[in-house]
Structure 1
């Protein structure tokens, strides 16, 4: 999982050179790609642990998954909560407002799912366990399934609707604020 360093702090998952904060919706979608890659890493980690145990490679993969969902994913959710959802709640049709309320609830549920799922990952990363329990495996499955559905609805419905409603000046400000939250240099 590639990453870059911002002057203020290290934020994993923000290294896609083709996408910049000047295009905030492209950045949001690129973040979804990184979520999917990190969930795929979690799947590979689970298989690796089943086949080869909790070796150093597994512990490092667990640390990578932890870092992404502890640091980058909350910033992404904050972007949506500050810039996408309020616009849709204020200006979109009733069915879109219902969708946004569901997406907001997803964020709450994903935070709770992650709090539970990170416990066995942290234990593996620290060498405290040698494998994942059945309940941990179920947590990982639920977390990944919730993200898949969430991403689908955002990219197919919420993002296009919000982009349609945003004025160009607000789009630019959105990108600047997203960059600022990540410690990116001012332009």
Structure 2
């Protein structure tokens, strides 16, 4: 990428972090507890930055829809909304290491990475609980055919958790020391790429197979109970 393109990218990062009240709110973590809508807005805001493909010379925009979140009366829809946030915050973790390797993170990059890591510690973990504690047990009881897919999805959750631990460790080293060695950089590139592939496959199975089946076999009482449990986790 040209020096002009790099400068424009850094100016865009600075403008987003400096001018957005959404990112100012990130400095007050208690305000974010249970605020799914705020996370969605932050994800959509960050989706306006540009990333350069490793084999492409011009930047391409990351496009993320910013429609309002579904409510507790539609827990399956809430899980889909969470997937869009996962994709957006994971995009930050992938873009940052691709763009900043070999140097220190800028203030804007560091704060964006920390926001993404915080999301996966809170919203990401809650999403896993929503599925494994509320949706999957009821789906197993209602549809024996769901067992194979659910077993795979739960395995994906465990693998993703391990990868997130590695990614957070490496980004923490980078942030605290001001740099990341070539070996650690290659490890972070590999781990974020693995996470991206894992989530892509995982989300496709959930949204095209498991969520569709859940909508077909779970009755209104089960859906209401799931939504109630989602609400309780967000208090």
TM interval, shorter chain, is 0.7 to 0.9
Deviates more, 1:56-65 or 1:38-47: 38-47
Residue segments in structure 1 that go unaligned for 5+ positions in a row: none
For residues 84 and 132 of structure 2, what CA distance do their matches in structure 1 show? 19
How far is the alpha carbon of 1:173 from its aligned partner? Answer: 2.0
Choose the corresponding residue for 1:105, options 134, 140, 155.
155
How far is the alpha carbon of 1:166 from its aligned partner? Answer: 1.3
Q: Does 1:160 align with 2:212?
A: yes
Q: Does 1:14 align with 2:43?
A: no
For residues 124 and 12 of structure 1, what CA distance do their matches in structure 2 show? 29
Q: 1:105 to 1:137 in 2, by over 3 A?
A: same
Residue segments in structure 2 that go unaligned for 5+ positions in a row: 1-19, 41-67
- TM-score normalized by the length of structure 2: 0.69
3-state SS in 1 of match to 2:36: coil
How far is the alpha carbon of 1:179 from its aligned partner? Answer: 1.4
Q: Does 1:75 align with 2:126?
A: yes
Q: 1:62 to 1:24 in 2, by over 3 A?
A: same
How far is the alpha carbon of 1:58 from its aligned partner? Answer: 1.7
Bigger relative contact order (CA 8 A; separation at least 6): 1
How far is the alpha carbon of 1:164 from its aligned partner? Answer: 1.3
Q: Does 1:48 align with 2:99?
A: yes
Q: 1:13 to 1:66 in 2, by over 3 A?
A: farther
For residues 221 and 75 of structure 2, what CA distance do their matches in structure 1 show? 12
- For residues 84-128 of structure 1, the C-alpha deviation after alignment (integer angstroms, 9 at most, x for no partner) is 21123223243x2111110111111111111111101222333x2
CA contact (8 A) 1:21 1:178 kept: yes
Match of 1:149 in 2: 201
CA contact (8 A) 1:38 1:68 kept: yes
For residues 144 and 12 of structure 1, what CA distance do their matches in structure 2 show? 25
For residues 139 and 122 of structure 1, what CA distance do their matches in structure 2 show? 14
- Larger Rg: 1 or 2? 2
What is the total number of aligned residue pairs between the two structures? 179
Match of 2:179 in 1: 130
How far is the alpha carbon of 1:167 from its aligned partner? Answer: 1.4
Q: Does 1:36 align with 2:103?
A: no
CA contact (8 A) 1:62 1:122 kept: no
How far is the alpha carbon of 1:25 from its aligned partner? Answer: 0.7
- TM-score normalized by the length of structure 1: 0.85
For residues 21 and 28 of structure 1, what CA distance do their matches in structure 2 show? 10
Match of 1:65 in 2: 116
How far is the alpha carbon of 1:12 from its aligned partner? Answer: 7.3
Choose the corresponding residue for 1:119, options 161, 169, 175.
169
Aligned-residue CA RMSD (Å): 2.4
Match of 2:4 in 1: none
